[in-house]
Amino acid sequence: MVIPTFNRKTSLLRCLKAMPTDIEVVVVDDGSSDGTIQAIGELRHPNLLYHRQSNHGPASARNAGIKRSSGDYIAFTDDDCVPVGKWPWPLIERLERENPEIAGVGGRVLPLKNSVFSRYYTF
């Protein structure tokens, strides 16, 4: 799992607390100045890797996360997302069962709150 982040420690912590502990999670801090590094240090995720780089944007952070990942699969999520259940395991199991030659997939994203903006985005 690769998660790029920049100055969103509160939402990042919410994301990480919902993350299964049996997967490798690579957080790439893209130059945050909001105390992200200290907040990460207080988490107890057994497979959490933290990498800090100067600010180059989320694409650069994702690429840095890929380089530091060691798993057979790489999943991406953003620091303002909250994974549900055992995600991404059901996705990986389905990929392996149905077609191991698939190179990439996307999933459904639901809003955390019900607002005018979230209803518009979902529509």
The mean pLDDT of 15-44, rounded to a whole number, is: 94
Q: Which of 14-28, 34-48, 77-91, 98-112 has the lowest mean pLDDT?
A: 98-112
Between 103 and 77, name the one with better pLDDT: 77
**SS3 (DSSP) at 62:** helix
pLDDT single digits (tens) 48-97: 999 999 999 999 999 999 999 998 889 999 999 999 888 898 888 888 88
Q: DSSP for 107-122?
A: -----SS--HHHHHHH
- Note the pTM of the prediction, 2 decimals: 0.86
Whole-number Å distance between alpha carbons of 10 and 12: 5
Q: Name the more confident of 119 and 41.
A: 41
Which residue's entry shows tokens 């997302």? Answer: 81
Query: How far apart (Å, rounded) are the C-alpha atoms in residues 24 and 52?
Result: 17
Tell me: the pLDDT tens digits for 9-26? 999 999 999 999 999 999
CB 15 within 8 A of CB 8: no
Q: What is the pLDDT of residue 37?
A: 94
